Amino acid sequence: MSKAIYSLKMFIFREDFILTKKEYNSISSICIFIINLYVKAWFNAPIAAFSPYQDLEFLKNLYEYKNVDEELSKTLLKNS
């Protein structure tokens, strides 16, 4: 989660950094993923009894995330 927070901070303060177009697109893509999928999964992770369901739900949401960012979704699903 620390890297996620760091990524969000970089996006918030993007005006203070000199970012290339590729870096800007990458950091915004990561932040959208964090906000849409990762935060919910991270907050629900401590509930061990729901872990199998949460894992399946996360994979389902990741598959549906193709509508937002197909390239990132395919990469994450391939590595799952």
pLDDT in tens, 8-65: 999 999 999 899 999 999 999 999 999 988 888 888 888 888 889 998 999 999 999 9
Closest CA to 73 of 39, 38, 22: 38
pLDDT of residue 21: 94
pLDDT of residue 24: 93
Using the CB atoms, write b or e for 40-62: b if 16+ within 10 Å. eeeeeeeeeeeeeebeeebeeeb
Q: How many contiguous H segments (helices) and E segments (strands) does the chain have?
A: 5, 0
pTM here? 0.78
pLDDT of residue 17: 85
How much of the chain, in percent, has pLDDT values that exceed 90? 46
Closest CA to 11 of 2, 25, 59: 25
